[in-house]
Each structure stands twice: as structure tokens, then as C-alpha cells.
Amino acid sequence: MAEEEKKEEAKQEEEKTTSEAKAQVHAEAAENWLAEFFLFKMFITRPFIKIIYVIGAAAITLLGLGSIFGLIMDFSSYSVIMGLVTLTLGNIAWRITCEIWIVFFRMHDIVKSIDNSLKEE
């Protein structure tokens, strides 16, 4: 019986130590995150690019449709053609632009991971 109690106490002590270590790791991670944020080592823009893409694509689509239906210019064959060009090429160009932004941020992440792995060696 005493042996079981000792095992239970040891288990509780180990859980306490583990939870304290986890709390310390979380505190250090929060400090590191804050430091990296203010030193511009960590970027928060990538999630916003996706939101900006959707807003931009919606605006380009509305402009194209407005041009096709004569809401922006007088209704003519020129406005229909410009509307179709805006719908297709405008959205494609906007998508490429947003993808290029994301590629730059991914390149930064890759270079950062390479730098961290070299520092560990």
C-alpha cells in the first residue's frame, strides 16, 4: 500500500513539474513572439493578403460587370469589351499580384528557417 502511495506521489510530482515546464515554455514563447513582432522578424501580413485578395477580386468583378451593363460608362460595344477584359485580365492580374506577395513571405519564412537551422549547428 505504501509503495502505491509513493508511486502516486511521484506521479503527481512529475505532473506538477511537467505543467510548470509547459507554463515556462509558453511564457518564453509569448515573450519571443512579442520581441519578434516588434523587431519585424515575424510578419502578420500573409493572412491579410487572402482577405485583401477577396475584397480586390470582388471590386474588380463589380467594376467589370458595371462596365458590361453600362453602369460606369454609356452602354456601348466598347464598354462591354472593356468589362469582359476587366473581368478576365483584371482578376488574373490581381490573383498573380497577391500570389507574388505570398511567395515573398514564404521565401522569408524559408530563409528564416535555414538561418535558424544554421544557428543550431
Same domain, 62 and 120: yes
Q: Can you give the pLDDT at residue 24? A: 63
Same domain, 28 and 54: no
User: How many domains is the chain partitioned into structurally?
Assistant: 2
Q: Can you give the pLDDT at residue 68? A: 85
Range of the domain at 77: 43-121
Q: Residue 58 belongs to what H/E stretch?
A: helix 45-68
Q: Phi and psi of 40, rounded to 5°?
A: 60, 35
Same domain, 78 and 118: yes
Same domain, 76 and 109: yes
Which cell numbers in the block locate residue 31? 515573450
Q: Do the beta carbons of residue 68 and residue 80 sit within 8 Å?
A: yes
Going residue by residue through the chain (121 aa), what tens digit of pLDDT does each one get?
A: 566 766 777 676 766 666 665 666 555 656 677 777 777 777 777 788 989 999 999 999 999 998 888 776 677 778 888 889 999 999 999 999 999 999 998 898 899 889 888 888 7
